[in-house]
Structure 1
Amino acid sequence: MVQEVEAVRRTKVLNSFPAGDPYGSWPAEEYAARCRERGQRATVVMDLDRDSFLVVALDADGSHSTA
């Protein structure tokens, strides 16, 4: 459980997409793919509380954030 909390602290939400979208997670996956093309470590996660797909950037050391 502690490892999961640590992983959340090392992420930055880049964008959010509603889970009720007719295309499901596809828009979020496409956005994450564009981020990865630019060299950013991005992935899609589901936020059950907000009922949305989040595109998050993974920060390897958690010590800095990009503006």
Structure 2
Amino acid sequence: MTTALPAQRTVLGRFPAGHPRGSWPADEYAAVQGAQGTDAHVVMDLASDQFLVVANTTPQ
């Protein structure tokens, strides 16, 4: 039986949810990271009221 390890994430950037442009700055940053070869995406952290740009990392 094989057990998968839980995915780990690295936070690449934090952007305030109250920004006048909403999540756009985070989306733009994630796109730049993607263009550089990092599989980054935006998630909302409700506890801190921030958009986070995260990348999955391989557990060591």
TM score, norm. by length of structure 2: 0.85
Residue of structure 2 in register with 1:41 after alignment = 39
Greater Cα radius of gyration, structure 1 or 2? 2
Higher-strand-fraction structure:
2
TM score, norm. by length of structure 1: 0.77
Q: Percent identity?
A: 55
Quote how far apart the aligned CAs of 1:62 are: 1.9
Quote how far apart the aligned CAs of 1:34 are: 0.2
Q: Give unmatched runs, 5+ long, in structure 1.
A: 1-5
2:28 & 2:22 partners in 1: Cα distance?
A: 11
Following TM superposition, the consecutive aligned residue runs of length 4 or more in structure 1 with deviations greater than 3 angstroms are: none
Q: CA RMSD in A?
A: 0.9
The SS at the match of 1:56 is strand
Residue of structure 2 in register with 1:21 after alignment = 19
2:52 & 2:59 partners in 1: Cα distance?
A: 18
Residue of structure 1 in register with 2:3 after alignment = none
Query: Which of 29, 32, 36 is the aligned partner of 2:30?
Result: 32
User: Which amino acid is 1:62 matched to?
Assistant: P
Q: Which structure exhibits the higher relative contact order, with contacts defined as CA atoms closer than 8 Å and separated by 6 or more residues?
A: 2
Higher-helix-fraction structure:
1
Q: Give unmatched runs, 5+ long, in structure 2.
A: 1-5
2:56 & 2:33 partners in 1: Cα distance?
A: 11
